[in-house]
Each structure stands twice: as structure tokens, then as C-alpha cells.
Structure 1
Amino acid sequence: MAYLRIFFFVGFIVLSSLYGRCDSQEHRIQALWQQCERARSLSAYQRLDTLSLRFLRQLGSHHDSRMQAYASYYRATALVFTGRGREALPLMDRAWNLSRQAANDSVGALVMNIRGIYQAMYQNNSFLAQHYFFKSLALARSSRYESLKIRVYGNLLTLSKSPNDKTLLGYAKAIYQYGLRHNDFEQTYMGAYYLALYYKLNRQYREAQGYLDKALSLYRQRPYDDVASVYVLYSETETGLGHLSAARQWARQAVVLARQWQQTSLLPDAYLQVAIVENKDGQYAESNRNALKAVELSNEHELSNRVIDCYRLIADNFLKLGNSAGAIEYLQAANRGMDTLSSINMQRLMRERSMQDSIEKKEQIAEVRMQKITDQRRMLTAVCTLAIVLLLLLIIIIIVLRSRNRMIKSIVEQNVRAVEKQKASKRHIMLIEQQLDAARQELETLTSSPTITGDSPSNDKKSIDEQPDDSPGDHSSGLLLDDDGRMQKLYDRACHVMETDKPYHEPRLTREKLAKMLGTNRTYLSTVIHAKGGMSYQQFVNTYRINEAIEVLSDASQIERPLKQLWSELGFTSPSTFYKLFQQSVGITPLAFRKLIPGIKKPTAQQDDTD
């Protein structure tokens, strides 16, 4: 037991240690991520260089694709802004692939943004830079990354040098207002800078300086490493106003700050601005020295977008110094640079156009596939809907059929009961008739026997015959029946004849034949049937035929009897007439009636008596 306790104690310590290590590692990763983001937001790219390298090492073989993507992005950003753009390309590709693995559009948007910055700074390719910026903007919108969306607006603004572009003004205002609403120093600072840039492009130098003052005010509260760009822009506004002394001071301070904060991408711009101010001030030799320094720094960090401007400025200085050969040399160098850049740009544009066509073709194929998938889904939905509708219709039909079958069965049961009642009534009538016959015979026997008084039969008969004609007994028997009574008596006789003799079996049972059997004429017979039966002669005859058909079809012992034989024996001249009259009378066809008979329980004698 003691060994077991020691074992659990040691296991607990080991697990706690492992958990502590894992928790400590996650804490360090999160801390490095936050430090990298803060360094980037302050444009502290030298510090970001150190932190991003440490971030990658800390992750090691960590399988979190999202964190790996962020670390690669921060490392690529540091390399781009410290003049090592070529080294950043593989890291951009890695960060992009990892962002797709993690299905994270936020880090994907960041990668597309830094790709656009690389194209603008190192390749001088505004077309491809805009392509990446707009792709970053789309990803930022899909991931609701508002702060990045605002930064991309600023990057798009720096690509344009067109004055009076209201879109750029809208971008700049959006950045500045976003920063103010969210108390975001970085966005407010950048928004003020971009608004100043817009007004400088439109030669509204006082308005530009107003926003530059706001940017510098924010810088004093929270220093930003790229503040040299603000000083360069301030120098350009002072130059535009003709304040060359102030412009020189701002430009030289920009050089100092760019060196202080190790902003290698801004240092050539600062030297070029110093050279431009000196050119305006007539200090051409000094202007050439600073312009050549800008060329040296641009070539050192592969920032070709400033070299041509430097060459043109040097050529102008030589021309004003009277050195035509030097001016021609640098103008030729500028032209060669322009030709080279144009050739490179043309090749790039052709490659990019080819890539764009390929992308568009793939997108069209993808769109066609998506349309097919959408159509298939719609078709599937339509088929499912149709199947559901058909199923509902089938259920409704089954319910209706069952209800109809129940109704038909009820009709058949009623007819069977009626037939059974009719049979019972006939039996009862026959019994009564038998009893009446027996009573009549007994009466006749009593009448033919001698009377109790001893009177002879002849005397008795004589007394009867000699009774006056107006005696009550003879008068009642001799009175003629009134017309209604005679009609009722004739109708009853007709019914009796139809039930007993069944003359309706004859197909050609005319009114004349039936009238002759009843001892009357055809006209009076039709009148009696219509008055007492409420039907025509033919309906009267067919009623008996249909009633017998119901009786036969209700008899299970005659289930095998053919319908053809039945309708012909009942006196119908055609099966269609039989079927039609049967369905009108019963509600269903004779065949359906017969099929339902085996499943119907016949009423018992007790039920008949109850009914």
C-alpha cells in the first residue's frame, strides 16, 4: 500500500510538471504574439525583427497552423521594412499556406497586405500591389477585421499620386475617423498623415500642415518609429510654401530620425528630400552629394523606385552648374533606368496578365462548377419537394379510398340488411297467409257443419238469400270502392304479382302484358303506378329487377354466378343498362358490391328482430 501511494504521488508530480510546462509554453507564445503586434503597430521593425525570430523559435514544431502563420507574417514584415525584401518572399508564401490550412482569413488578409507593400516598395509594381491590397481588403471584410481594412485603405492611398481623387480623400477620412472613434492611436496617427498627403498633392499646404501637427502631437504621446515620413512630408509642404530654410530643417531631422529608428526604407526618401530643398535653394553641389547618398542607400536595399528620381535631380544640378556632360550622363542613366523599368514592368505586366487570365479562367471554371452544384441542389430540392407532394397526395388518396371503401361497405351492409329484412318480411307474410288459410279452412268446415239450433242448411241458406238488399251486410259488400281505394288495390295487386310471379324476368315486359295480367288497361296501370309508386312504369319494373340483383349478389352461395347470366335472367337487355341502374340505385358497381360481400357479417335473427 505504501508503494502504491508513492507511485501515485510521483505520477501526480510528473503530470503537474508536464501540465505546467505546457501552460507555460502557451503563455510564452501568447506573450510573444502580443509583443510582435505591438512592435508592428509602432513601426518598430528592428524590434519586430528580433521578436519575430524569437516567436518562430518558440513555436518550433508546434502544430498550431494559425500561430505559425502569424509568426511567419511578422518575420516577413520585419524583413520587408528593414531592407531584406527577397528574404521575406518564402515567409510570405509559408504564412499564406498556413493561413489556408487554419482557414483563418484574418492572418490571410495580413499576408496579402504585406505582399502588396513588397510589390510597391521593391518591385515598383502598382498594378500587382493594388491586386494584393484589394485581396487583403476582401479577406478583411469576410473576417470583419476592421482595423486591417482601414490600414489597407491607407496603403491604397499611398499608391496614388493623383490630385483631386475623392476616393483617396474618403479613404483618408475613414482611417482618421476610425482612429478617433476607437481611441486607436495608430489609426488616428496614420489617418492624419494620409489626410496631409492628400492635401499636399492638391497644393493645399496649410491644411496638410494642420494634420501633420496632429500626427506629431500623437507621436509625442506614443512614439512611432516611422515618424521620419511625417518630417519628410512636412518638408515638402514647407517647400511648396517657399519656406526653404524650414523645409531644410524638417528634411535633415527626417534623416536623423530615420537613422535613429533604423528605418532603412525611409532613409533614401529623407536624403532625396534634403537634395530637393538644396536644389531649390541653389546649393547644387550639396544637392548632388545628398542625391547620390540616396542612390547608394536605394541600391543597397534594392529600393529602385527612388533611383530614377535621384538621377533626374542630379542631372538638373549638373545642368545648372554648367556641366553638360554630367547632366547628359545622368539623364542617360535615368532614361536607361526608365527603359529597364519599363521593360521589367512590361514583362511583369505580361506575366501578371497571364496569371490574371489563368486566375480568371480558374475562377470561371469554379463558378461553373458552383453553378452546377447549385443547379443540382435546386434539382434535388425540387425532386424532394415533388416526392413530398406525391407522398402527401398518395396519403390523401389512400385516406379517400379508405373512406370511400368504408362508405361503400356501409352501403352494401345497408342493402344486405334490407334484403334480409325483406326476406324476413316475406317469411312473416307467408306465415300469416298460411295462418289465414288455416283459419279460412277451419271457418269453412264450421260453416258446412249443422248449426246448434237444429235448423236445416236449406232453411239457413234460404234465410240468407231472402235478406233484403239494403241490409247492412249486403250493402257494405256491394258498395263500389272509391277511386283511390281501387287504385291502391290495383297497385297492391301489381306489387304482389311482381313479387310472386316475377314477370319482370321477361326482357319485353310491356305495360300491355302486365295490364292484361292484372285485368286492366295500360293507361290506367301507368296512372296507378305513378300515383301510388311515384315512378314510371319502366322504373317500377327495373326496381324489382335491381332488388333481386341485390338479393342474389348478397347471397354468398351464389358468389360464382356470372354477372352476364344474372343481368340476362333479370330481364335486362344489355349489361350497360344493368350496370348503370345498379350503380344509380346502390352507389357502386355490381362487381364492387360482390367483392365486399364475403367480408360483411350478415345480421343475425336477433338483429333482424331488433331492426
Structure 2
Amino acid sequence: MTKQFYKLSKTFMFSVTLAALLSAGSQLSAQKSNVSDAINKQFACYLEGENNGEVLRNFAAFFLSTEEFQQVISYAGQLKSLGEKNNNTRYRAYANAYLGQAYLMTNQNDIAKMYLNQALRQAKSIENDSILCSVYNGLGLFASNVESDYNTAISYFFNGIEAAKRCSHKRLHNILLCNISGVYYLKGDSTGLKYAQECYNFGHSQNDPFLALWGAMNSARMYIVMKKYEEAFKYIKEAEFILQKNQYNDQTNVFTLYGEILVALGDNTEAEKYYKEALKNIGHAQTSSIANIYLSYGKLLAEQKRYSEAVPLFEKGIKVSEDGHNQIFIKQLFAALSESYEKMQRFDKSLEYFKIYHTQTSRDFNEESERSINQLRIQFDTQRKENEAEQARLEVLNKTRKMQFLIIILVMAVGVAIYLYIIYVNKNRLYRRIIIRNKEAIKREDDLKNQLKNFVTECPNVAEKYSVSSLKEDKLENLFQKIEFIMHEEKLYHDPALTKEKIADKLNTNRTYLSQVINERTGLSVPHYINTFRINEAVRKLSDSEDDTPLKALAFDLGFNSISTFYKVFQASVGMTPSLYRKKVQEISS
């Protein structure tokens, strides 16, 4: 009895000690390693091999707050095993939530999403709002950082805020507010200022330097969006003071913001000093912060026509983003890299990176458009089901009230009409944006091709140098370049009977090798690859308002065997039929 009481007393004392450390977690960054050592010693001393779920949970939470993610994975893994052993859903849910966020912060995104989804299901099943607000925070970060789906991220964060309110978790409530302001910054929307300010004020009222720091940084970002640089400067100076006082490890973020503000104020010399300081600290920075410093510093160098220095920074930013599966700045990096190569008269490289930028932009645009339309459909279906339920209830309760029934039917009809009209308007806007984007892309591509052609004509010696360089590439790349050449220049795709055997014969290779090359370089099968050229030419012709070639003639000219096949492939690729595309082009041009 005495031994049991002694063990329970030690465990209780340890939990109290750990709780005190957790409550001060945001103020412990300067002594992080010392605290970690102390806690580990206490853990060994007090537990002596016992499995205590609450202690493991507190450990995982503490190390998550201090950004020691390998420790989080270790303790959360033990907590998960304990939960499975004892069939404790609460422990499993906490463990999955911590594992999901730790793996997300270490760029292991697929594993992170799996754990976060498990935690979400488990937290909902036991109705635990404390876990829910943490899980929604992780899912919001995943949506914004990995998927670039900012609207979904904001929705997750607001769901987290509702859960935080229900369980009175004020600190996480304000972290979620700060994350919302960060997403609004990425959208270029100053709406996020009020959320950043609320986090900033709460941090000061609670003497919480972590919340005060992020509230100040995101307030600075919002004022940059609003072009109120003096206000932004005030907040970033305070953020730097808090950072140095508490020895936090996010100097890269602060110094990058300093540089951006100084560039906006016209002090490029001082801005470059801060950018260089930011680069010195990237060892402790997150992927998005590293990509951002490469982008911001590279832009400054490009503005000063120091393209040979800017290009490596953009390339490093792209590599960091791709390695970390982080999509936040990657499109801007590709666009900046394309523009820099254009200024250097490397039109071949400029065109290469512009195509990647255009592909990613089109993909994201189409995904966002599809999400918007699906959201309208969901709203419509929800309203329809609610109306159907209401109608059924009224039929049972008010059989004699025919007038009310007719009014409800009328309201339903009006509601359906409104939703159909909204979908119609949104589709028209979508079609208009698709056409404008395609026209701009065609013009941009033509300009780059003309510049490259003129460059080759005017500087044959330099062009020869590039040609010699390309001959040293492997056989796969050489074959792919030959395929691209005959498709672009000889327009083989105009042949309706074109097959991979014909292409292989023309290039003196075999069809298996040809299919392998095309699939590895484009991710497409040979028929799909051929059809991309046909559709691209169709878009070019249909984007010309003066071209009145009949669609049936156009289909056969491009190599399609039937008008129905042309319509099907064009619809799948562009998002509307050829006839509708031509109609919208005429409307825009008139």
C-alpha cells in the first residue's frame, strides 16, 4: 500500500511539474535543450518503466510547442501503442493528432494526412473538442501549405475555432486566428488584419511572447498587403525584439519581412543586408520560409539586373519547394525564373519555365473552379433536401392548407432558379477567364518563340554552343526532342491515321522505346500526347475571332476521325465544347 501510494505521489508530482512547463512552453525557447534534458531525466526517474498515458500526452504536446518533432513522434508513438493496448480511443486520437502535425512539419505529407484523418474520425466519435481544434489546425495547414487550397484551409481553421470555443481553449483559438490571417496574406487579402491583431493583443494580455510574435509578424504582413509600410515596419521591429529576447528560431521569416518592407520603401541596400541575414538562418526555418527568402531576394537582384545571381536563388527555391512538397511560392518562383532567363536572352530556358508555370497555374485554376462549382452544387443539393423535408412535414401536418403548399412550391422553384442562375453566371465567368488566359498564354508563347528565333538568327555562334550542349544529353532526351520537333514543325498530328508505329518508323526507333520516352517526359500515352497538339492548335484557331473555319472542317484538318471525337477531347481538355468556346471568343471580341 505504501509503495503504491509512493508511486502515485511521484507520478502526480511529475504531472504537476510537466503542466507548469507546458503552461510556460511559449517562454522556454531560450532554454529548450536544458528543459528537454530535465524533462527526460524526470520521466526516467518518476515513471521507472510505467506506461502513463497522460504523461506521454503532455510530453508530445510540450515537444510540439517547442518544435522538436522527432521527440513528438517518439512520445506520440508510445501513446498510440498504449491506446491500442488498452483500447483507449482518446489516447489514440491525441496520438494521431500529434503525429499528423509532426509529420506535416517534417514534410512527410502523405503520412501526416493519414494520421490527421484518423484523429478527426476518432475525435468526432468521442466528441472531444480539445482534440478537434488541434486536428482542424493541422488539416488547415495541410490544405494551405501542401495543396494551396486556401478556401478549404480557412474553413478548417474556423471549424477549429468553433471547437476551441466549446472547450475554452483560448490559446489555440488565437493560434488558429493567426493562421487564418496568414492564409489571407497568401491570398493578398487584407481581411486577415483583424485576426492578426486579435492574436497580437491576446498575446500581450497573457504575457505570451509566442502569440505576440506571430500576431506582430502577421500584422506586418497585412500592412504590406495594404501598402502601409510604416505601420508594417513598426510591427516587424517589435517582432524582431520578441524574437531576440526569447531566442526563437524563426529569424529567416522576420529578416525576410524586413527586407520586403525596405524594398517597398526604396532602401534596396539595407534590404539586401536583411536578406543575407535571413539566408544565414535557413537551417532552422520551415520550407515555406526558405522558399520565400529565395523568391524575395531573387526578385530584388532581378530588379537590379543581376540576373546571374537571381537565377540560382530561384532554382534553389523551386528545389526546396519540390523536396518539401510545399506549393505556396512555387508558381511565383517559376514565373520569376522564366522572366530572368528572358532578360538574359536565354529564350529557350525562359519558354521552358514559362510552360511549367502556365501548366501549374492552369491546373490550380481548374481545380479552384471545379471546387467552386462543386460547392454551389452542394449548396443546391442541401437546399433541395431541406426543402423536400420541409415539404413532407407540411404535407403531413397541413393537408388542408393548399395555399401554403403552393407558396412553398413557388419558393422552391424560385430557389432552384436562383441556384441555377448562380451556376450559369459562374460558368460564364469561368469560360471567359479560360479564354482570356489561353489568349494571353498563346501571345506569351509566340513572343518567346519569336525572340528565340531572332536570337538564333542573330547569334548563330551562341546558338551552336547550346546545340552542342544538348547533344551531350542522354538518348531518351535526344529522342524526345526529335519527337517534339517533328510534331511542332512537321505537324504530323494532322494525319488522322497517325500511330506510334508511324512516328517510330520516321525516327528509326521502335514503338516500345517511343512510348516509354513520351510517357516518362509527359506522363501521357502516345494517343493522348498526339491529341494535345491537336487541341492546342484548335484553341489557337478558335481564339482567333476572325477565323471562321467550320468546326467539322477544323476537326478533320487537325487529324480527328470524327466531329464527335473532336468535341469529346476538346471538352475534356478545355472545359467547354468547341462551339461554345468560339461563341465566347466572339462575345469577348465584340
TM-score w.r.t. the length of structure 1 is 0.53
Deviation at 1:63, TM superposition (A): 3.7
- Does residue 219 of structure 1 match 2:243? yes
Q: For the pair shown, which has the larger CA radius of gyration, 1 or 2?
A: 1
Counterpart residue number, 2:330: 307
- Does residue 270 of structure 1 match 2:297? no
Counterpart Cα distance in 2 of 1:207 and 1:21: 51
Counterpart contact for 1:43–1:226, Cα < 8 Å: no
Deviation at 1:358, TM superposition (A): 6.2
The within-5 A match list for 1:507-518 is: none
Cα deviation, 1:121-171, whole Å, max 9, x if unaligned, reads 111111211221221122222222222221221121112249996742221
Deviation at 1:21, TM superposition (A): 11
Correspondent of 1:329 among 352, 365, 372: 352
- Does residue 36 of structure 1 match 2:54? no
Counterpart residue number, 1:342: 365
Deviation at 1:299, TM superposition (A): 1.3
The within-5 A match list for 1:118-197 is: 118-161=142-185, 167-197=191-221
Counterpart contact for 1:76–1:92, Cα < 8 Å: yes
Greater CA deviation, 237-246 or 170-179? Answer: 237-246
- Does residue 56 of structure 1 match 2:97? no
Counterpart residue number, 1:292: 315
Cα deviation, 1:252-283, whole Å, max 9, x if unaligned, reads 33333232x25234322222222122212321
Counterpart of 1:294, as a letter, is G
Counterpart contact for 1:113–1:136, Cα < 8 Å: yes
Distance 1:230 1:314, change over 3 A: same
Correspondent of 1:76 among 100, 108, 120: 100
Counterpart contact for 1:225–1:263, Cα < 8 Å: no
Cα deviation, 1:216-266, whole Å, max 9, x if unaligned, reads 22222323334422222122112212222332332233333232x252343
Distance 1:269 1:35, change over 3 A: farther
Distance 1:119 1:182, change over 3 A: same
Deviation at 1:44, TM superposition (A): 4.2
Counterpart contact for 1:193–1:211, Cα < 8 Å: yes
Count of residues in correspondence between the two structures: 359
Counterpart Cα distance in 2 of 1:121 and 1:366: 40
Deviation at 1:52, TM superposition (A): 3.3
Deviation at 1:177, TM superposition (A): 0.9
Give percent identity, aligned residues only: 19
- Does residue 252 of structure 1 match 2:293? no
Distance 1:47 1:246, change over 3 A: farther
Deviation at 1:289, TM superposition (A): 0.8
Distance 1:162 1:100, change over 3 A: closer
Distance 1:230 1:31, change over 3 A: farther
Deviation at 1:309, TM superposition (A): 0.5
Deviation at 1:18, TM superposition (A): 9.7
Deviation at 1:214, TM superposition (A): 1.5
Where 2:281 maps in the other structure, the secondary structure is: helix
Where 2:355 maps in the other structure, the secondary structure is: helix
Counterpart Cα distance in 2 of 1:221 and 1:51: 30
The within-5 A match list for 1:584-603 is: none
Counterpart contact for 2:220–2:233, Cα < 8 Å: yes
Distance 1:118 1:163, change over 3 A: closer
Deviation at 1:15, TM superposition (A): 7.3
Where 1:266 maps in the other structure, the secondary structure is: helix
- Does residue 234 of structure 1 match 2:240? no
TM-score w.r.t. the length of structure 2 is 0.54
Q: Which runs of 5+ in 2 are unaligned?
A: 13-46, 398-590
Counterpart Cα distance in 2 of 1:229 and 1:120: 17
Counterpart contact for 2:184–2:191, Cα < 8 Å: no
Q: Which runs of 5+ in 1 are unaligned?
A: 1-11, 376-611
Counterpart contact for 1:316–1:327, Cα < 8 Å: yes
Counterpart contact for 2:93–2:131, Cα < 8 Å: yes
